[in-house]
Amino acid sequence: MGRYLKIFVLACVAVMSAGFAAKAEEGTGEGERIYVKHCSGCHKLTDQTSKGPGFQGVMSRHTEAWIDKWLQNPKAVIESGDADAIKLKEKFRIIMPTLKVVADEKARREIINFLKENDKNRAQ
């Protein structure tokens, strides 16, 4: 009996850790981590303004391509004459810094997925 119990417990642990691994892969964990550490000082997840605009609804204000370009170098987007970027700058008075953490394409994808998830959760 003891042996079967041991096998049963091991099987449970295996199933549970497989579940956790799958969740970590598909989730927005990395994007959330980036947000908390590098964006939350200036952006709230609601529609409330902080140093920068609140993120709620941001994915419907811009295309994904625009956000991807913005994150790589906000100042360059403003200087390129982009009307949306210029309007934002006039409203918020400061220019968002170019952040090393999103220099990497994968990190940008993670944070954009996190923003999508935030919009979805808040639309309910």
Alpha-carbon span 92 to 31, nearest angstrom: 24
Dihedral sign from CA coordinates of 108, 110, 116, 118: negative
92 lies in the binding site for ligand HEC (CB under 6 A): yes
- Minimum distance from residue 107 beta carbon to ligand HEC (Å): 8
**Which residues touch 122 (CB under 8 Å, ≥6 apart)?**
45, 46, 56, 57
Alpha-carbon span 77 to 1, nearest angstrom: 68
109 lies in the binding site for ligand HEC (CB under 6 A): no
- Minimum distance from residue 78 beta carbon to ligand HEC (Å): 7
Among 95, 109, 116, 119, contact with ligand HEC (rule: CB under 6 A): 95
- Which residues bind to ligand HEC, rule: CB under 6 A? 34, 38-39, 41-43, 51-53, 58, 61-62, 67, 70-71, 74, 88-89, 92, 94-97, 99, 101-102, 111
